[in-house]
Amino acid sequence: MSAFPALPCFPCPHQSACCGYGVTLSEEEARDLSARHGEEKVYRTRWGEWRTRVRNRRCIFIVNNACSIHADPSYPAVCRAFPWTDAETGGPYEYDQTICPEFLARPELVQIGKRGGTPA
């Protein structure tokens, strides 16, 4: 059970804003998602990083304001952990949490995220 406050992700009132940039994938996630959903859905950057493609300013797996691979065994670890935990380090999410507009509406969430722990 998560120690963090719930966010209104399903359905997202912010048109899945956090999914506007696609997401980093592990090699295994990229291979599995490619095999199950089509190799055109993922790509490798010139720096060797696997990512989901972006179409119409949303991750290609967003369909009707919802993630179409949420139940997939290879649902990306980065998505699973956002916006609280950095999937690579296991510590607090280190990037811009205001990608989720809920953090602008409820600034106290930013502090909770930075502590990386249980809300007071």
Least gap, CB of 19 to ligand SF4 (angstroms):
7
Q: Work out the end-to-end distance of the chain between its first and last CA atoms, rounded to an integer number of angstroms.
A: 16
Evaluate the CA torsion angle 10, 14, 15, 19 in order and state its sign.
negative
Q: Is 16 in the site for ligand SF4 (CB under 6 A)?
A: yes
Nearest Cα to Cα of residue 61 among 33, 26, 29, 31: 33
Q: How many CB atoms lie within 10 A of CB 24?
A: 18
Instruction: Considering only residues 76 through 95, tell me which ones interact with ligand SF4, judged by CB under 6 A.
Output: 83
Q: Looking at 9-17, 28-36, 56-64, 111-119, which segment touches ligand SF4 (CB under 6 A)?
A: 9-17
Helix (H) and strand (E) counts in the chain: 4, 7
Among 100, 109, 112, 113, contact with ligand SF4 (rule: CB under 6 A)? 100
Among 17, 54, 77, 110, contact with ligand SF4 (rule: CB under 6 A)? 17
Least gap, CB of 112 to ligand SF4 (angstroms):
14
Q: Is 54 in the site for ligand SF4 (CB under 6 A)?
A: no
> Are 51 and 26 a contacting pair, CB within 8 Å?
no
Least gap, CB of 97 to ligand SF4 (angstroms):
9
The Cα 76–Cα 55 span in angstroms is 18
Which residues lie near ligand SF4 (CB under 6 A)? 7-9, 12, 14, 16-18, 83, 100, 102
